[in-house]
Each structure stands twice: as structure tokens, then as C-alpha cells.
Chain A
Amino acid sequence: MKTGFSVFAAAFIALGLSWCGLVYAPIQQLGGTKQTVVLQSSDKWPMQRTGDATLGLQVYRANACAACHTVQIRQTGVVHTLSITDLGVHKAVDFKAFMTSLMAVPELMKCSNSIVGSLNQWNGSVPKLLFSGEESAMVSMLGDKLKAVGVKTEARVETTGADIARGWGLRQSVAADYLYDTPVQLGSLRAGPDLANLGVRAPDVNWQLQHLYAPRSVVKSSTMPAFRYLFSVRKVGAQPAPDALALSKAFAPSAGFEVVPTAEARQLAAYLTSLKANVPLYEAPFTPITATK
């Protein structure tokens, strides 16, 4: 074969290029990810998980939870918003006329329809969303103009997307969130909900344990299989165990028996309650809590 070397060289270059793109470049880009800080604070992010929660990740992996659950929140957009928090001495009706006159300012003209339109049905209740869009200049100008007449407003940065609308998280997942996960359990199929912010949505360890033992005892429509082998059903001793699950009658074992979580179940529950993605980071900014003035 006369072309042997050319074939080898072509294959080597093709594989080498894809190695560079799939392995080398990502390591260059994200391999140096370090613990970072929560936006506008000195808190570190992410925090190292507790020992139980770290072991829980391996239980999560061993039970293939990632086959049906993702741990990644997607975000499709971000907007600046301006809301009225206090009308001051103004009345809602006068305010609309004032805003109409304010819209004569050339820079504000292009959003005049949406702003004035949204005031039509407004009865004066606050907070009232006034503007939502990508232009930060618009928000600060509108805020300044309203401040000058004694109307208090609040400017926020808000994330948008289907996952966020569902309440699964407050912002998209970024590389730093997975800093202490080995291996990262991103998941790719959502037969169940996303778990990236589960520790905020369901922070109760006992709820998690009950849900693992009998999913339908706490979530009626759940399709999750019951992970009963992570629990031991045993005869009640002289005293009921303090960590026995408080199950409703339909799911409880027969009288005289109790359900006690094994170490694995506790670790998995600790891991699940440690999953949080509720703080703003530089790479995933949003306004966390209501700030007025």
C-alpha cells in the first residue's frame, strides 16, 4: 500500500484535532475553575459538601438517579426590569398622564406603547412592573426620572427560561456549581424534575427519606420507583427508633414494624438537600432579594 503513511497522517490529524477540541480546549477553558464568591457578598461558592452529602453523590450515582433526573438549570435570557414600589403622593390615574407626558423624551419613546399600555388596567397596587427589557440605560433613566418626582422604583436583573419559570431554579447552572462533584451527574433525561435547586425547594431531610421510601406517600402523581432497599423494615423494639419514618397508614408496614433509613439513604438525602443553585454569581447574575430605593 503506497498511501499508508498519508492515511495514517490524515487519521492522526483528524483524531488529534477532535482531541484538541473535545479535551484540550475545555481543560484550558474550565480546568482552572476555583471556588468563587457570591455576587455582592463575601460568601464563598460553592461550599464543600458535608461528608454524608459527598458520599450521597456516590449513592446517587450507584442508583442511576441521573437516568431520570438532571442537575442543570437552563436559562434562555436575561432582562432588566423596573418596578414601582411606592407611588408617593401620586395617584394611579394622575400617574398614567404623567407617564404619557414623560414618553415624549426621545430615548423613552420606543418603549412608550408597552409602558403606557400596561398602566391602562392598573389600579395602583404595588409593586407594579413598569419596564422589562435588555437596555439598562432605559431602566436607569426611567428610575431617575421617577425618583425626581418622588416615586420609588426598584431595578432588578431577572433571568428567564422554561426551567426558571417552572421554579426549578433562579439562574442557569455554571461550571463552578459542580466544583466538588466527582463525577458530575449532569443527566440528560427528565423523566423526573431537575434537582439542581432541590435543597431549596425541599430542604427537609425527613421529607426526602419518606419520598425515597414511598414516593407516592408525599407526591401523589409521582412516577419515581420506590427505593425500599435503602431502608430496613424491622420489629419495633422496647422503644420506637427515633429516626423511623412517619408514614401514613397506606404506606406503613404492618403494626409492630417500623421503617428505618440505612446509612446509604441518609447519605443520599444529605446529598439531595445539599443541592442548591440559588445565589447570584458573576457568571450568572440576577437580583436576589427585594431591594428598595
Chain B
Amino acid sequence: MSDENSSCCNLTGSEPTATRSSAPMWIIVVTLSLLFFGGLYLDSHSGWFDAKVYAPYNSAEKLEVFQPKSGTAAAMARGKGLYEGVCGICHGSDGAGKAGQAPTLAASEWVTAISFNRLAHIPLAGVNGPMKVAGKDWNMAMAAMGAALPDDDLAAVLTYIRTSWGNNASAVTADDIKKIRAEIGRSPQAYTVEQLKVLPE
């Protein structure tokens, strides 16, 4: 301890003791206002700690608003993606078919028929033997390429091929596919054109 300090402090050698004194008012005001504005900020930015809500979305409702619309547009986008992955390898991403691999889907009477019943049987069960497509004769086999797709996905693909490349036929729904799949049953034989033509339009 230096001499300068000894004059101002009462050093008796005993341990210092704490006495009670009231907290200054400004600390209470600052603390409460910090809590208040913190609460406001939390309310508007936290998304209530929802695991699905990230900035820039600040609430579950806001996130919901930005979900891309379902419906035709979504089904078309889905159908296009699946078509290019599953069907387009042989039928071409432009739907024009490939010589020696697969016939055209664009302007094909099988694809654009008013009812899609016969069309839906082809990816679900496969088709075999001679077939006339858009005036051209084919004699090949197609496996049941669509049998493994879920109903809504296959419906999206069929909707896509029925409304693309100048085709303008009606959309196919998942319920339709479900019904047709049930009619065909499990592990079906590939259809021939004669068998397909027996089916109702």
C-alpha cells in the first residue's frame, strides 16, 4: 500500500464487508428495455425456433407462402424431369423417338388418344410385337418401364407426354393410374397391340 492512498482509506486490517444499497434506477430501465426490445426481435425473427424456418423466412407462415404452387405446373415440371431420366433415353428428350430404339411420342395416336386407358397400360405392363405408330411400322418390345414409378409420378410423366411437343390431350391423375394398375394386377405379361385394342378407349 502506498502512502498516498493510506490517507484516503480507512484501513483497519479487517476483511471488507458488503452493505446493502439500492440499485440505480437507470440500470433497471436499461435492463427492462433491453428485455422488451429483445422480446420484440425474437418475436419477429425467431420463427419460434421451428427447425424448418431459416432466415430470410421469419415464420412458418412466411415459409408456407413461398412454397411453389402445386397443380399442373408442378406436375409438368415433375413429369419433364422423370421423362428425361426414364423415357427420354430411348424416346428422345424431344419426344421424336429414335430409329431402331423407340417410336415417336409427338403426334402419336397412342399418346394423344382422347382416353389414356390404352396408353397407361404400356408403361405399366410393357408392350410387345408389331405396332403402327404415326404411320410407321415398329416391331419391338418395351419393358414395363413405368411399373416401378409411384402413381403420381407416372401420372405426371403421362401428362407431360400428352401435353408436350405439340400434343394437346387431357391430363392424367394419380387416381386414374391407381385404378389402371389395380386392373392390370401384379407382374403382368407384356401386351400385344391386339390385346391393347381390346381394351376400352
By a beta-carbon cutoff of 8 Å, the part of chain A in contact with chain B is 2-3, 25, 28-30, 32-33, 39-42, 75-78, 80, 136, 154-157, 172, 174-175, 280, 282-293
Chain A: interface secondary structure?
Answer: loop
Determine if B54 and A291 form an interchain contact, defined as CB atoms under 8 angstroms apart: no
| Chain B neighbourhood of A292, CB < 8 A | 73, 76
| Chain A neighbourhood of B54, CB < 8 A | 172, 174, 283-284
* Given A80-B66, A136-B65, A293:B57 Cβ within 8 A: no
Interface string of B45-74 (1 = CB under 8 A from A): 000010111101100000101111110111
Asked if B130 lies at the interface with its beta carbon under 8 angstroms from chain A, I say no
Determine if B63 and A42 form an interchain contact, defined as CB atoms under 8 angstroms apart: no
| Chain B neighbourhood of A75, CB < 8 A | 56
* Given A285-B66, A291-B74, A41:B153 Cβ within 8 A: yes
B73: contacting residue among A32, A154, A174, CB under 8 A: A154
The docked-state distance in angstroms from the alpha carbon of A174 to that of B52 is 9
* Given A33-B51, A289-B81, A282:B73 Cβ within 8 A: no
Determine if A157 and B68 form an interchain contact, defined as CB atoms under 8 angstroms apart: yes
| Chain A neighbourhood of B51, CB < 8 A | 29-30, 32-33, 175, 283
B166 shortest CB reach to chain A, Å = 14
Taking CB as reference atom, which chain A residue is nearest B81? A289
The docked-state distance in angstroms from the alpha carbon of A156 to that of B67 is 10
* Given A29-B49, A30-B51, A175-B51, A40:B150 Cβ within 8 A: no
Number of residues from B at the complex interface, CB < 8 A: 27
| Chain A neighbourhood of B67, CB < 8 A | 39, 157, 282, 285
The docked-state distance in angstroms from the alpha carbon of A38 to that of B1 is 72
The docked-state distance in angstroms from the alpha carbon of A206 to that of B76 is 35
- Give the 10 A-B residue pairs with the shortest CB-CB distance, closest first: A291-B77, A291-B73, A283-B52, A287-B68, A40-B74, A291-B76, A157-B68, A285-B67, A77-B56, A285-B66
- What are 24 contact pairs spanning A and B, CB under 8 A? A2-B15, A3-B18, A29-B49, A29-B51, A32-B51, A33-B51, A40-B74, A40-B77, A41-B153, A42-B153, A76-B56, A157-B68, A172-B54, A282-B67, A283-B52, A284-B54, A285-B63, A285-B67, A289-B77, A291-B73, A291-B74, A291-B76, A292-B73, A292-B76
The docked-state distance in angstroms from the alpha carbon of A26 to that of B49 is 9
* Given A157-B66, A282-B67, A78:B57 Cβ within 8 A: yes
Asked if B176 lies at the interface with its beta carbon under 8 angstroms from chain A, I say no
A288: contacting residue among B18, B52, B77, B153, CB under 8 A: B77
The docked-state distance in angstroms from the alpha carbon of A76 to that of B18 is 52
Interface string of B29-59 (1 = CB under 8 A from A): 0000000000000000000010111101100
Determine if A42 and B49 form an interchain contact, defined as CB atoms under 8 angstroms apart: no
A46 shortest CB reach to chain B, Å = 15
Determine if B68 and A286 form an interchain contact, defined as CB atoms under 8 angstroms apart: yes
Q: A41-B78, A154-B73 are in contact. List 6 more A-B contacts (CB 8 A).
A: A40-B74, A41-B81, A78-B56, A136-B65, A285-B68, A287-B77
The docked-state distance in angstroms from the alpha carbon of A282 to that of B52 is 8
The docked-state distance in angstroms from the alpha carbon of A28 to that of B76 is 38
| Chain B neighbourhood of A286, CB < 8 A | 68
| Chain B neighbourhood of A174, CB < 8 A | 54
Determine if A39 and B76 form an interchain contact, defined as CB atoms under 8 angstroms apart: no
| Chain A neighbourhood of B109, CB < 8 A | none
| Chain B neighbourhood of A282, CB < 8 A | 52, 63, 67
Determine if B63 and A283 form an interchain contact, defined as CB atoms under 8 angstroms apart: yes
The docked-state distance in angstroms from the alpha carbon of A75 to that of B56 is 7
Determine if A42 and B150 form an interchain contact, defined as CB atoms under 8 angstroms apart: yes
Taking CB as reference atom, which chain B residue is nearest A280? B68
